[in-house]
Amino acid sequence: MPDASRLVETLEAIVGPGFCLSSPEHLLAYECDGLTLHRGSPSAVVLPADKTEVVRVVRACRAAGVPFVPRGAGTGLSGGSLAECGAVVIECSRLNRVLEVDPEDRVAVVQPGVVNADLSKAAAPFGLLFAPDPSSQQACTVGGNIAENSGGPHTLKYGTTTNHVLALEVVLPSGELLRIGSRTGWDFGYDLVGAVVGSEGTLCVVTEATVRLTPLPEAVETLLAVFPDIVSACRAVGDVIRSGLVPAALEIVDRRTIEAIEASVYAAGLPADAGAVLLVELDGAVAVLAPQMERVRALVAGQGATRVEVARDAAERQRLWRARKGAFGALGRLAPDLYVHDAVVPRPRLPEVIDQILAIGEKHGVRLSNVFHAGDGNLHPNISFDRRDPDELARVLAAGDEILRACVAVGGVISGEHGIGTEKRDFMRLVFGEDDLAAMQRLRDAFDPDHVCNPGKIFPTTRFCVESNPKARGYDRVSFDS
Ligand SMILES: Cc1cc2nc3c(=O)[nH]c(=O)nc-3n(C[C@H](O)[C@H](O)[C@H](O)COP(=O)(O)OP(=O)(O)OC[C@H]3O[C@@H](n4cnc5c(N)ncnc54)[C@H](O)[C@@H]3O)c2cc1C
């Protein structure tokens, strides 16, 4: 039985030399995910090559009494793959094989480290795609998508990841290998796949996924409606939804984001005079798209769109989507840090909530921009800042707090697709009562009674190895170089 001090040796024996990282310079890269505010150093990072190695790594951690954290590409924005309590990170990038694409059954079987966009690439020759398309899809993994129940611009029509996962193979915190769900999509008994999707790596390590593939649409039309301001664009979203149309995507990009995109490698010729643009994608049978486009044109004009530009070909469409999906990256030009918020409000409340968010940004004097999945009511107010400046940092956190409360006050929720992680665990009580949280905790306990699998995530706590109090976490003294 290895003890904690010998764990690294044991792990290296399991995964082989070079695939167990423990030097400070290697561990530095794993100190955070896309949320740069929260940090925690793992005691080691292992890169297993197959499920058997995952089982052995989990068992070795258990024997040593050390917790572990599954990790994909680390693009998460809520601190989900952060190693707290000196946990071992189980990095899934070597589990990166598409094991099967079955065009007849429209199903793929993949390992968790497969990059989202690579799965769609593998399915494309068969006229199929993997519908969940987070803007990070060139980097993020299917395992991360499953754990976060990720969405994307096309969630409006195609649903989030949970709608596309049929069966899973998982390693439980006990070290048992389990198969749940069914390739047919028909299941019985408790919906354990449903429980694992969105569980943020707190129930098990996913080692294989059987996912649904979706036929590529017969035709696609992408329109860019130019608005003088963001509130009018939000009103137009309401009108489109009310009309009964179901676009594949309805995305809003505001002026500050447009400026950042146009100054970056993602530049797509977005209009410099726009207060905001609404990107509308329609897909389906060729015959139905022309009348739908006319309907959209009329609806956006009714809310003051000054013009509508239509992508003339696939290259133009791709350029628009590259710009939209590169927006967070482009915002990285504005300041050393970007805090990407993620909340959902009922769609009819979008105009008033956006107004409030702008006012909150102004009140706290923070650099706020908005680029979001408007059709889902899924807001991403983004704050550009420099965490070396304690005063600015305090204002960023205060603004974020107020934004979340404003969203909840109109019947919204505190996360759409980025998860709770460490970022929002202390906000869970805004939407859940003690009984709700206790029921969730009991579900977790059924999988992980000892809380060794990704500890410290989702649940509010003040008695964890890191205090959840923002000051105690060191927000006020976090150094840029740490
Ligand atoms: C530029 C940018 C744009 C983004 N756009 C979107 C978007 O449009 N929609 C969206 O939903 N998200 C978006 N995200 C957030 C992020 O990309 C997603 O949450 C993504 O699914 C995370 O995948 P990952 O492989 O990077 O996972 P990680 O960040 O490594 O991990 C995320 C969570 O998954 C768990 N996990 C990872 N692998 C496994 C596994 N094998 N078994 C069990 N648990 C596991 C981790 O423990 C962690 O809790 C964006 C992020 C960035 C940086």
d(CA 232, CA 228): 7
The finding on whether 72 has its CB within 6 A of some atom of ligand 1 is yes
> What pLDDT is attached to residue 466?
44
Report the nearest-CA residue for atom 9 of ligand 1.
134
150 CA closest ligand 1 atom index: 11
d(CA 308, CA 274): 12
Helix axes 230-242, 350-364, angle to 10 degrees: 160
How far apart, in Å, are the Cα atoms of 122 and each of 99, 109, 110, 325, 383?
Answer: 10, 11, 11, 21, 36
Read off the pTM: 0.94
Strands 88-91 and 68-71: parallel
Cα separation, 67 vs 65, whole angstroms: 7
pLDDT of residue 185: 87
Q: Is 328 in the pocket of ligand 1 (CB under 6 A)?
A: yes
Q: Rounded distance, CA 70 to CA 81, Å? A: 7
Q: Tokens 């036929």, residue?
A: 215
What is the Cα 27 distance to its own chain's centre?
23
Q: What pLDDT score was predicted for residue 302?
A: 98
Residue 81 Cα to ligand 1 middle (Å): 8
CA of 162 to the centre of ligand 1 (A): 14
pLDDT of residue 461: 73
Fold of 219-328: Alpha-Beta Plaits (3.30.70)
Say yes or no: CB of residue 412 within 6 Å of ligand 1.
no
335-419 sits in which CATH class?
alpha beta
pLDDT at site 464: 53
The best mutation among 36, 140, 169, 208 to test binding of ligand 1, ranked by most ligand atoms within 8 Å of the C-beta, falls on: 140
Residues of the chain falling short of pLDDT 70:
1-5, 462-482
Give me the pLDDT at residue 193, please.
Answer: 98
CATH class, range 4-92: alpha beta
Q: How far is the CA of 116 from the centre of ligand 1 (A)?
A: 10
Atom of ligand 1 nearest to the CA of 373: 8
Distance 136 CA to ligand 1 centre (A): 8
The helix (run of H) or strand (run of E) holding residue 21 is strand 20-21
Cα(163) to ligand 1 centroid in Å equals: 17
283 lines ligand 1 (CB under 6 A): no
> What's the pLDDT tens digit per position in 152-197?
999 999 999 999 999 999 999 999 999 999 999 888 899 999 999 9
* pLDDT at position 468: 38
What pLDDT shows up at residue 89? 98
What residue spans define the domains of the chain? 4-92, 98-215, 219-328, 335-419
In words, the CATH class of domain 98-215 is alpha beta
Cα–Cα distance measured from residue 360 to residue 355, given in angstroms and rounded to the nearest whole number: 9
pLDDT of residue 481: 39
Alpha-carbon dihedral angle through residues 134, 138, 143, 147, given to the nearest 10 degrees: -30
Fold match between 4-92 and 219-328? no
Q: Which residue, 248, 204, 244, is CA-closest to 222?
A: 248
Q: Which residues contact 325 (CB under 8 A, 6 or more apart)?
A: 135, 136, 137, 153
Q: Does residue 162 have its Cβ closer than 6 Å to ligand 1? A: no
DSSP 290-354: HHHHHHHHHHHHHTT--EEEE--SHHHHHHHHHHHHTHHHHHTTT-SEEEE--EE--GGGHHHHH
62 and 3 in contact (C-beta within 8 Å)?
no
